[in-house]
C-alpha cells in the first residue's frame, strides 16, 4: 500500500478514536451526573421520608397521649331501682322476694357461699348479699337466713353474727343504662382488682412474651407463621396484647398495610410511655367479649357478670378459661348460641394453662369435664322498664347534658318499686286479655302509680308489652280526660261558697261554644235528675248539673284550679272543658290527683332520689318539695266526696277488688263514644291512674267503670294501697243535713245526710226530729258508717 494512503488511513483511524473517546467521555459525564442526581433524590427522599415519618410519629404520639391520658372510656350512667329494705313484718311473699333477687342479678346456688348467691327451701331463703355503696353510706355484705310466713317476712337471722336482726338493705337492682352512641358498656377494674390468674392465663394464651417485648414481638410473629404453615391455615396470630389494644382502642379493624404500620408504630409508642401493668389493665378493660342486644360487652369485669352473674374475683378456673377463650372470637364462640364451640375453646385454654403450669393435672381433668355454667340470659340492652326510664331521662335532662349521662359513669338511684311495677303490668295485661279478642288487639293502656306522701313515682307502664323505642302512652299520650276534671270544678265551687249540700240543677241546656256553635251536654244515662245535692252530682258523675255549675263559676277559674293542682295547661276556657275535652297525659293526671291526695300540697312527681359520680360521691339529691296550693279544708271536702263516688257512685265496682272499709277515694272518667276509659284513685299509701283506649282514637267500647277501674282494682289488690284516713282540719264540722230543704237537723231524720262542712257554711235553719224517723235507705249511709 502506498505511503500516502497508509498515512490517510492512520489519520482517519486516529480521528475516529478521538471522536469515540469524546463520546465515551460525554457518556461518562452524563452517567455520572445522573448517578449523582439520583443519589441526591434518594438522599432527599430519605431525609424527607424520615422527616415525614418523624412528623407522623409525633402525630401518632399525640393521639396516644391525648386519648390514653384523659378519660379512657365512656362509661354509661347506670340506673338503679329502689333498694329493698328487709325487716320482719314486711308484706312480701317468698316468691316475690325471690323475683326481686333475680332482678338484682342474684344467682341460685345451693351452697350460697359467695356474694350475690341464694338458695330457697320452701318458705326460707338463704343468701349472701353484696356489699354496696349507697348515697348515705356503705351496706356491707350479709349472710342471712330469711323466714317467711303467709303474710310476709317473719324473721331475719344473720349467720355471721349469729343473731336475729331487725333491718337490712339489699343492693338495688340495676334496671338500665344510658349508653353513648356506640352502645359500649363495661365495668372498670383497677390493677389491684385483676386476679393474678386471669392476667397469667391471658398472657399464656395471647402473648407469652408480654413482659419481654417492646410492643411488637418478632419471635411471636415468626412462631405464629411457622404454626400456621404447619397447620395449613391461620390458627395463631402474631399480634401482641399491646398491638391488640392499639387496634381495638385507637384504630379500625380494616386489614391494610397502612393500618398494620400504624399499629406497629403506636404499639412501640404506647410501650415507651406506659408501664406493662397499665397496658394489660387497659386491655382487660377494653377487650370486646360479647353482645347483649344493642349493648356491646367490653372488659372481663362486665363479661363475668354477663355470662356468670358474679364478679371476676369469684370466677372458677374453667369460667376464667372460657372468658379468655372468647377473646379469639366472641361471636363465633358465644356460649349461649354455640355451646359445643365454646366448650372446645374453653378446654383448649385449660390445656394451655396446664402446659404453662397454671393448672394442676387434677384440676385440668375436672375442669374439662365440667359444664360451661352459663347463667340464664341477663340483659340490660332492652330494659323491662323502658317507660319508667323515659321519665328518668326526662328529669335528668333538667340538670345534666348528654355527655354527662353517657360518658362519666354516673349512678342514678330511682324510685322504681319492682313489686308495684309488676302488679301494674300484670293488671293491665290481664284486663286487656279479658275483653273480646278483636278489641284486645287494638286496645292499649297506661298506668302511673305514685306514693301519696313522697310524690315518688313507683311504677310507669307505657303500653301493653312495651319495648324500648315504643310510644310511651303514660307520658306522651294526651287524651281527653272526661269526668276526671270534675273534682277541679267542685273545688272551684267550694272556693266560691258552694257546699256538699248545695242544690244543683240537673236539667238540659245549651250554650254557645267554639265559633258560635251550640253546646248541648247530656248525662251518660240520657236522663235528667232535677235538683240534686252537690255531693250526689259528683258521686254519680252527672254531666248536666256539673256543666251548669261550671258555667256559673267560670270555666277560666276551673282551669286555674287545674293549674293549681299541678297541671301546666294552655287550654282555652271553652264550655266543653267542663266535661273533659281537656287533653292530658296519664302522668299529668297523676300530678293532679297527687295534690288532691296530699291534702292540697303540691309536690312535683319525681323518679330520681339521688345521683352519684363514678367515685360514689353524691352530686345531687332530690328531696321532696312541698307547696300549699289548695286550702286543706276544701280538699278534705272533695276527698270525702270522692270516697262517696267509690262507695255508692260510679266507682262502686271497686269493692270487688279492694274491701270497702279501705275508704278509697277515686273518680271514673269516660269520653264521647267510649273512646277513653279512665280511673284515678288513692288510698292511704298509693295513688294510681289508669287509662285504656285505642291509638287510632276509635271507640274502645269501655267506660271508666268497665275498663280502667278494673285494672286499678286488680293492681291494688296485689299491693298495700292503705286504708284512707284523712286528717280532719279543725274548722271542719259534721252535721246531719236535709239537703233538699237546706236544713240542719238535730237528729237522724228520714233522708238525713251526715256531711262535713267548713265551719260557718252549714245551713242556718235547724229542725228537730226523732230517731224513729231515721231511714236506713238513705243513699249516703256510707258516710254515717265512716264518721259516726
SS in 3 state form for 350-374?
HHHHHHCCCCCHHHHHHHHHCCCCC
Would you give the distance in Å from CA 431 to the centre of its chain? 25
Residues near 585 by Cβ (< 8 Å), separated by ≥ 6? 473, 474, 475, 476, 477, 478, 479
How many CA atoms does the CB half-sphere of 314 hold within 13 Å? 16
Any idea which residue has 345534666 for its cell?
Answer: 400
The answer to whether the CB of 415 falls within 8 A of the CB of 607 is yes
Provide the 3-class DSSP secondary structure of residue 752: coil
- Cell numbers that stand for 697 in this block: 282514637
> How far apart are the C-alpha atoms of 36 and 44, rounded to whole Å?
12
Determine whether 141 is an active site residue.
no
What does the DSSP 8-state code read for residue 729? Answer: P
The answer to whether the CB of 284 falls within 8 A of the CB of 292 is no
Residues near 183 by Cβ (< 8 Å), separated by ≥ 6? 294, 295, 296, 381
Nearest alpha carbon to residue 29 among 39, 18, 21: 21
Residues near 39 by Cβ (< 8 Å), separated by ≥ 6? none
Residues near 500 by Cβ (< 8 Å), separated by ≥ 6? 533, 534, 535, 637, 640, 641, 755, 756, 757
The CA-CA-CA angle for residues 638, 640, 641, to 5°, reads: 60
Any idea which residue has 393474678 for its cell?
Answer: 196
> How far apart are the C-alpha atoms of 404 and 397, rounded to whole Å?
10
Point out the catalytic residue in the list 100, 115, 184, 206. 206
Residues near 456 by Cβ (< 8 Å), separated by ≥ 6? 415, 450, 605, 606, 607, 609
Nearest alpha carbon to residue 264 among 213, 225, 223, 215: 215
DSSP 32-84: HHHHHHHHHHHHHHHHHHHHHHHHHHHHHHHHHHHHHHS--S-BPEEEE-PPP
Element (H, E) at 296: strand 295-298
Count of other CB atoms within 10 angstroms of residue 134: 18
Question: Dihedral through CA 727, CA 730, CA 736, CA 739, nearest 10?
Answer: -90
Any idea which residue has 408480654 for its cell?
Answer: 210
Terminal Cα distance for the chain, rounded: 165
Point out the catalytic residue in the list 267, 304, 466, 483. 483
Residues near 652 by Cβ (< 8 Å), separated by ≥ 6? 646
Determine whether 483 is an active site residue.
yes
The answer to whether the CB of 412 falls within 8 A of the CB of 608 is yes
> How far apart are the C-alpha atoms of 73 and 184, rounded to whole Å?
9
Residues recognised as catalytic = 206, 483
Amino acid at each position: 500500500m502506498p505511503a500516502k494512503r497508509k498515512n490517510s488511513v492512520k489519520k482517519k483511524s486516529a480521528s475516529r478514536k478521538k471522536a469515540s473517546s469524546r463520546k465515551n467521555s460525554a457518556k461518562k459525564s452524563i452517567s455520572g451526573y445522573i448517578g449523582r442526581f439520583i443519589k441526591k433524590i434518594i438522599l432527599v427522599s430519605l431525609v424527607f421520608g424520615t422527616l415525614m415519618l418523624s412528623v407522623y410519629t409525633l402525630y401518632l404520639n399525640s393521639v396516644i397521649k391525648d386519648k390514653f391520658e384523659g378519660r379512657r372510656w365512656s362509661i354509661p350512667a347506670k340506673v338503679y331501682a329502689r333498694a329493698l329494705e328487709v325487716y320482719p313484718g314486711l308484706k312480701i311473699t317468698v316468691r316475690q322476694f325471690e323475683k326481686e333477687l333475680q332482678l338484682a342479678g342474684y344467682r341460685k346456688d345451693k351452697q350460697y357461699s359467695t356474694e350475690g348467691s341464694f338458695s330457697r327451701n320452701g318458705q326460707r331463703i338463704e343468701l349472701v348479699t353484696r356489699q354496696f355503696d349507697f348515697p348515705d353510706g356503705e351496706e356491707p355484705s350479709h349472710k342471712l337466713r330469711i323466714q317467711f310466713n303467709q303474710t310476709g317476712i317473719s324473721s331475719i337471722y344473720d349467720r355471721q353474727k349469729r343473731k336475729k336482726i331487725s333491718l337490712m338493705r339489699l343492693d338495688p337492682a340495676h334496671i338500665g343504662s344510658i349508653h353513648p352512641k356506640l352502645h359500649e358498656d363495661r365495668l372498670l377494674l383497677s390493677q389491684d382488682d385483676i386476679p393474678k390468674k386471669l392476667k397469667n392465663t391471658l398472657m399464656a394464651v395471647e402473648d407469652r412474651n408480654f413482659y419481654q417485648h417492646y410492643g411488637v414481638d418478632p419471635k411471636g410473629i415468626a412462631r405464629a407463621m411457622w404454626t400456621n404453615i404447619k397447620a395449613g391455615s391461620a390458627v395463631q396470630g402474631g399480634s401482641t396484647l399491646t398491638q391488640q389494644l392499639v387496634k381495638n382502642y385507637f384504630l379500625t379493624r380494616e386489614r391494610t398495610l397502612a393500618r398494620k404500620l400504624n399499629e406497629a408504630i403506636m404499639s412501640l409508642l404506647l410501650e415507651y410511655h406506659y408501664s406493662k401493668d397499665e397496658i394489660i389493665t387497659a386491655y382487660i378493660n377494653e377487650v370486646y367479649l360479647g353482645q347483649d342486644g344493642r349493648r356491646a360487652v367490653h372488659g372481663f369485669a362486665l363479661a363475668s357478670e354477663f355470662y356468670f352473674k358474679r364478679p371476676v374475683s369469684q370466677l372458677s378456673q374453667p369460667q376464667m378459661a372460657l372468658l379468655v377463650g372468647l377473646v379469639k372470637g366472641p361471636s363465633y364462640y358465644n356460649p349461649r348460641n354455640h355451646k359445643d364451640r365454646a366448650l372446645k375453646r374453653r378446654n383448649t385454654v385449660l390445656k394451655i394453662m396446664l402446659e404453662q403450669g397454671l393448672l394442676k393435672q387434677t384440676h385440668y381433668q375436672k375442669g374439662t369435664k365440667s359444664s360451661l355454667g352459663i347463667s340464664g340470659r341477663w340483659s340490660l340492652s332492652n330494659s323491662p322498664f323502658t317507660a319508667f326510664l323515659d321519665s328518668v331521662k326526662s328529669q335528668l335532662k333538667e340538670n345534666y347534658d348528654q355527655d354527662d349521662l353517657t360518658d362519666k359513669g354516673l349512678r342514678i338511684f330511682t324510685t322504681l318499686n319492682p313489686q308495684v311495677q309488676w302488679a301494674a303490668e300484670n293488671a293491665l295485661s290481664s284486663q286487656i286479655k279479658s275483653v273480646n279478642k278483636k278489641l284486645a288487639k287494638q286496645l292499649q293502656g297506661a298506668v302511673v302509680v305514685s306514693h301519696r306522701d313522697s310524690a315518688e313515682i313507683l311504677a310507669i307502664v307505657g303500653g301493653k308489652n312495651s319495648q324500648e323505642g315504643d310510644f310511651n302512652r303514660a307520658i306522651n299520650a294526651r287524651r281527653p280526660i272526661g269526668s276526671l276534671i270534675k273534682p277541679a270544678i267542685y273545688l272551684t265551687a267550694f272556693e266560691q261558697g258552694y257546699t256538699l249540700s248545695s242544690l244543683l240543677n240537673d236539667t238540659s241546656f245549651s250554650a254557645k261554644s267554639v265559633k258560635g256553635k251550640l253546646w248541648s251536654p247530656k248525662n251518660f244515662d240520657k236522663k235528667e235528675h232535677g235538683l240534686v245535692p252537690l255531693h250526689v252530682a259528683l258521686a254519680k258523675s252527672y254531666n248536666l248539673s256539673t256543666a251548669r255549675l261550671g258555667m256559673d263559676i267560670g270555666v277560666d277559674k276551673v282551669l286555674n284550679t287545674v293549674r293549681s293542682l299541678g297541671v301546666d295547661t294552655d287550654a282555652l276556657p271553652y264550655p266543653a272543658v267542663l266535661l273533659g275535652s281537656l287533653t292530658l297525659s296519664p302522668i299529668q293526671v297523676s300530678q293532679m290527683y297527687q295534690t288532691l291526695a296530699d291534702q292540697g300540697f303540691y309536690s312535683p312527681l319525681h323518679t330520681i332520689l339521688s345521683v352519684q359520680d363514678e367515685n360514689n360521691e353524691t352530686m345531687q339529691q332530690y328531696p321532696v318539695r312541698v307547696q300549699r296550693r289548695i286550702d286543706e279544708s276544701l280538699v278534705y271536702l272533695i276527698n270525702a266526696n270522692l270516697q262517696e263516688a267509690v262507695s255508692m257512685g260510679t266507682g262502686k265496682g271497686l269493692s270487688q277488688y279492694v274491701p270497702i272499709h279501705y275508704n278509697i277515694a277515686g273518680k271514673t272518667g269516660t269520653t264521647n263514644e267510649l273512646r277513653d276509659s279512665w280511673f284515678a284513685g288513692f288510698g292511704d299509701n298509693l295513688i294510681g291512674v289508669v287509662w285504656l283506649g285505642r291509638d287510632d282514637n276509635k271507640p274502645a267500647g269501655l267506660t271508666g267503670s268497665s275498663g280502667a277501674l278494673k285494672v286499678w282494682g286488680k293492681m291494688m289488690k296485689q299491693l298495700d294501697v292503705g286504708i284512707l284516713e284523712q286528717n280532719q282540719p279543725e274548722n271542719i264540722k259534721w252535721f246531719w243535713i236535709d239537703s233538699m230543704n237546706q236544713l240542719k237537723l238535730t237528729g237522724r231524720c228520714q233522708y238525713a245526710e251526715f256531711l262535713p262542712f267548713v265551719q260557718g257554711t252549714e245551713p242556718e235553719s235547724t229542725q228537730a226530729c226523732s230517731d224513729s224517723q231515721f231511714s236506713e235507705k238513705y243513699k249516703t249511709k256510707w258516710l254515717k258508717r265512716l264518721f259516726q
